[in-house]
Each structure stands twice: as C-alpha cells, then as structure tokens.
Amino acid sequence: MYDKEWVESIVKEVLANLEKGTDFPKPILHLIQSEDVSETMLHYLQSRWEVEWVNPEEVNGDKKRERVLFPSVSQDLFVKGALGITDTHESALFSELVRRNSQIIFKLSSPLHVIIDEKASTEVPQAYVRMLSQYKEILSSFGVEFSIRDDLSDIQFIEEYNIPEPKLYQGQLVTQREMESWEGKEMYLEKHTIITPLAKDKAKERNINLLRNDS
C-alpha cells in the first residue's frame, strides 16, 4: 500500500510543475567583466547558465572556477596568454585559470576574427594571420575554446553542458529508488521531469546536485 500523504505530495508537485515548472540550479559560468558584452550574448548565457560576473582586479586566487568566459578578448590578452605573460589583471587571471585546469572560452574581438573567419583573413597579410594562428594553437593546447559569435553557437563546449551524458536522467518521474541507485554527484533532468519530495530528500542526503535541462 502506498502512503496517502506521500501520494498527495506527488500529485501536488505535479500540478505545481504543470502550472509554473520547477527550477533547479543551472551550471555556473564565470563571466569576466567587460563593457563589450552584448545583450544577445548575455541572454544566451543566462538561458543556459547561472552567470557569475568576475572582476579581474578583485579576484580571490583561492577560488576554483570550473568554466570561464572572456567575452571580448583583445590581441593583447590573446598574445600574452599564449606566451605566459602576466603583467595585467586579465593575463594574470588567465594564467591562474590555466594552472587550475579551468575550462576557458575566448570570445574574440573583431581584429582577431581573421584566425577563424576565412573571409576576414583575405584582407590581412597571410604571414600575419599565420603568426596569430600559431598563438591560437598554443592557447588551444591549454584547452581554450574560441568564438566569434555573440550567441557562441560556433562552440561545442557550451552545448555539451546542456545534456552531459550519462548524467541526464531519461525518465519522466524520479523517485527515491532512482535516487538511491544514481551514480555520480549530478543529475540533469528534462524540463518536464517530475521529482518526488522523497527523491529530493535523498538527493540532499547523498549530496547529488539536481540540474534542470532547459533546451
């Protein structure tokens, strides 16, 4: 026999979800402060991530930042980052992030589009493009991803975190039993997946982070 109160709590939760949905914390993305962050970019990021702004001048070096976006990378930071020069707040922060094995995205400023956009590269001496491309290869070896679009749609890195297999729960209802047998510390749920109160309690007990996939 099912416990009446338990069943009623599930029904209430289902109805609440149908009316307004259930919010779970999104993965965190640290965004380096810049005046060049467009509304398009910010809207895209906030729809998929919990955006936390970072001021390079006020960084606490003790904090681990898993995923970081530099939204308007100048040639100065681009070159210094590749060469390990740390004479500015941004380049020093980048060096620290690399040392900590953070996942880094460079949204390139317009002058650097030549290293990705073939049409733009035809207007610049090819020897110069090759030089910049060498710096790009170095940065890539550090794990840096590059974008030239405001919605970052040219980066697979962003999309990978919407459905991080095998952490995505495939069912429509999560009960305590599923939570007891779940492996790992994260469970991603589809937008309309229901999770019971007991399952939430078990997730809290086992320190499993519940994340809602909004795509």
Cα(14)–Cα(181) distance, integer angstroms: 23
Span 193-210, mean pLDDT?
A: 88
Closest by CA to 146, choosing from 115, 191, 181, is 115
pLDDT tens digits, one per residue of 58-113: 876 667 788 899 999 999 999 999 999 999 999 999 999 999 999 899 999 989 99
Q: Judge whether 177 and 206 are in contact, CB under 8 Å.
A: no
**pLDDT value at position 189?**
82
pLDDT tens digits, one per residue of 32-59: 998 888 887 888 888 778 899 999 988 7
The DSSP H or E segment spanning 52 is: strand 50-54
Q: Is the pLDDT of residue 165 over 60?
A: no
Domains of the chain: 4-25+164-212 (no CATH), 28-159 (3.40.50)
Choose the weakest-confidence range: 113-117, 125-129, 186-190: 186-190
- Residue predicted with more confidence, 147 or 35: 147
Cα(26)–Cα(68) distance, integer angstroms: 15
For the whole prediction, is pTM greater than 0.85? no
